[in-house]
Amino acid sequence: MMPPRDRCNLGGTGKDRGFTLIELMIVIAILGILAVISFAWLSSSLTSAYEITIKHDLQNFIRVEESNFLDNLPFSGSIGQSIRNDGSSSNFTLEDFKPSEGVSITVISGNPLNPYDPADPYKVQVTHVKIETIYEYNFVTKTILEK
């Protein structure tokens, strides 16, 4: 009758042989590399999602402001005022618009009564609390710049 096999025998031969320390270190290194690659991909994906959210909110803000202006209403915010959903309070509101969570839209120039004045165009900056990217929109040139 054969004695029972020792499950902790790392130095055995044949079927009884376990993993060596080098083999375990190689597997751990490969798993570490895969984790770093996955984290970088996830981080990039999250940044892209926040940028898409910023641009979507900016487009909706533009649509609502221009629609209100066509109805003979002035633009809603003055220089330095913000409409936000990032934990801070807003300085102005729009009836048909609320920013997504983490987004802030701040008026940086222009006159709300004459937003299309080429000498003093109405401009806004859009940010998200989770990323450092800032977008600026000029209502005269209708351009979005990344800052």
Query: What pLDDT, in 10s, does the model give residues 74-130?
Result: 999 999 999 999 989 999 999 899 999 999 999 999 999 999 999 999 999 999 999
State how many domains the chain has. Answer: 1
Residue 9 falls inside a structural domain: no
Residue 85 falls inside a structural domain: yes
Angle at the Cα of 33 from the Cα atoms of 27 and 34, rounded to 5 degrees: 90
Q: Residue 8 is which amino acid?
A: C
Residue 11 falls inside a structural domain: no
- pLDDT of 101 reads 96
Residue 16: closest CA among 25, 24, 7: 7
- pLDDT of 147 reads 87
Residue 108 CB-half CA count within 13 A: 13
Distance CA 73, CA 65 (A): 9
- pLDDT of 62 reads 96
Distance CA 43, CA 58 (A): 23
* pTM greater than 0.85 (yes/no): no
pLDDT in tens, 38-69: 887 887 888 899 999 999 999 999 999 999 99
Domain that holds residue 112: 20-146
